[in-house]
Amino acid sequence: MTPAVAVFVYASITALATGLGALPFAFVKEISNRSISYANAIASGLMLGASFGLVVEGSEYGRLQTILGANLGVAFILLTQRLLRRHPIEFGSFQGSGARQMLLVMVVMTVHSISEGVAVGAAFGGGMKLAFVITAAIAVHNIPEGLAISAVLRPKGVSVAACAGWSVVSSLPQPIMAVPAFLFIESFRPALPYGIGFAAGAMVFMVLVELLPEAYDRGSKHATALIVCLTLVAMMLFQQTL
């Protein structure tokens, strides 16, 4: 398996994991806000641990380049977010309010996984040693995303299987974007610290700006903070012992 194919396969696995988010809806009619909050907090801690691991790794190649890349990653998510904020207005008159909300969630989640795909591909540029960690972290992170999508679609009468399908669709840009991002990183070795920094920056900022606010809103600040502390250290420990 060539690295590019491997990246595609791994990124596809993380995309499929998104579908798992629909699973709880097969057992319960409604999932509590609190469990979505906890799932978000867990994903946040894991992704923060993974990204700061990347930052440390990147600074071994070049400190300044890593910082530059990290800030580019932050700026990239900032711009993507700004862009997305304009979209709801365009979609506003498309269909009825329920359909609009569903469409909106799908668009937001899909476009946001484009940047995730770039982050994944760039992260694999750090070497396949981290492949499992990155795949696991992104896969775990994708589950609550699928959960969030399903939480919107399911009450509107969409079947559990279709919820899972739409969740996976929202993550399809991940394998598609991961391969070119990975190839770019690989053919430009000197750009590696930039790429690693970019991946970390995009991930850290996405956690801070997308996942954590939702965790705070749906649950308690204190539980969220505690879970983030625990999972962050667990992830760092996990990466170090690997």
- Which string of x and - marks every residue 71-90 that binds other proteins (by CB under 8 A)? x--xx--x--x---------
Q: Are 145 and 214 in contact (CB under 8 A)?
A: no
- Which string of x and - marks every residue 148-187 that binds other proteins (by CB under 8 A)? ----------------------------------------
Give the residue, chosen from 200, 211, 218, 231, that forms a contact with other proteins under the rule CB under 8 A.
Answer: 200
**Contact flag: residue 236 with other proteins (CB under 8 A):** yes
How does 131-149 read in b/e, with b if 16+ C-beta sit within 10 Å? bebbbbbbbbbbbbbbbbb
Which of 102, 91, 56 shows the shortest CA–CA distance to 196?
Answer: 56
In angstroms, what is the minimal distance from the CB of 160 to other proteins? 33
In angstroms, what is the minimal distance from the CB of 104 to other proteins? 18
**Contact flag: residue 208 with other proteins (CB under 8 A):** yes
Nearer to other proteins, 76 or 182 (CB): 76
Distance CA 102, CA 22 (A): 15
Of residues 20-79, which lie at the interface with other proteins (CB under 8 A)? Answer: 51-52, 55-56, 58-60, 63, 66-67, 70-71, 74-75, 78
**Contact flag: residue 136 with other proteins (CB under 8 A):** no
Residue 93 DSSP symbol: T
**Contact flag: residue 232 with other proteins (CB under 8 A):** yes
Q: Are 150 and 163 in contact (CB under 8 A)?
A: yes
Distance CA 149, CA 46 (A): 20
Give the residue, chosen from 32, 33, 213, 242, that forms a contact with other proteins under the rule CB under 8 A.
Answer: 213
Write the Ramachandran bin of 95: left for phi over 0, alpha for psi from -120 to 50, otherwise beta: beta
How many Cβ atoms sit within 10 Å of the Cβ of residue 180? 14
Number of residues that bind other proteins (CB under 8 A): 38
Distance CA 108, CA 181 (A): 21
Distance CA 116, CA 110 (A): 10
Structure tokens at 195: 């790429």
For other proteins, the binding residues (CB under 8 A) are 51-52, 55-56, 58-60, 63, 66-67, 70-71, 74-75, 78, 81, 197, 200-201, 204-205, 208-209, 212-213, 216, 221-222, 224-226, 228-229, 232-233, 236-237, 240
